């Protein structure tokens, strides 16, 4: 457990706690949230990924190329872009290559955290 300057205990493996730690140290960050899934998806709705302005990550929204694409979008949002709703979907044949098992689809909302 980490302790913030205000004495609050934090779990460095929790995306929201890590996000709060980055923000309390003056760093910019974004939060990605799985908002919808269809078929098979490695992470359920509500899964979180915190992304720092340095590209550091805590949590997970999927894996593979999906997570890399979410981080790229988050860095754009952090630099002043608008929030983004990302949709990923692949056929069964290519699912494993991008980190979705058995042809899953998902939507991920990415927003800057102030």
- The per-residue pLDDT for range 11-26, each reduced to its tens digit, is 558 999 999 999 999 9
User: Lowest mean pLDDT: which of 17-21, 76-80, 96-100?
Assistant: 96-100
For the entire predicted model, the pTM comes to: 0.80
**Sheet hosting strand 29-38, strand order edge to edge:** 57-59, 48-52, 29-38, 105-113, 84-89
Q: Is the pLDDT of residue 67 over 70?
A: yes
Model pLDDT, residue 41: 78
Q: Which of 73, 76, 39, 44 minimizes the C-alpha distance to 61? A: 44
- Taking residues 48-77, what's their average pLDDT? 92
Q: Which of 99, 81, 80, 82 minimizes the C-alpha distance to 90? A: 99
> 69 vs 64, which has greater pLDDT?
69
Model pLDDT, residue 62: 86
- Taking residues 20-44, what's their average pLDDT? 92
For the chain, the average pLDDT equals 83
Q: How far, in Å, CA of 31 to CA of 52, rounded?
A: 9
- Taking residues 68-92, what's their average pLDDT? 90
């Amino acid at each position: 457990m980490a302790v913030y300057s205000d004495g609050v205990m934090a779990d460095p493996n929790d995306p929201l706690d890590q996000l709060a730690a980055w923000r309390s140290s003056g760093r910019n960050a974004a939060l990605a949230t799985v908002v919808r899934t269809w078929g098979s998806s490695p992470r359920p709705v509500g899964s979180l990924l915190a992304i720092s302005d340095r590209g550091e990550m805590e949590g997970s929204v999927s894996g593979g190329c999906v997570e890399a694409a979410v981080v790229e979008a988050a860095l754009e949002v952090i630099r002043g872009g608008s929030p983004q709703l990302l949709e990923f979907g692949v056929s069964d044949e290519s699912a494993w290559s991008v980190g979705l098992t058995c042809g899953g689809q998902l939507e991920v909302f990415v927003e800057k955290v102030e």
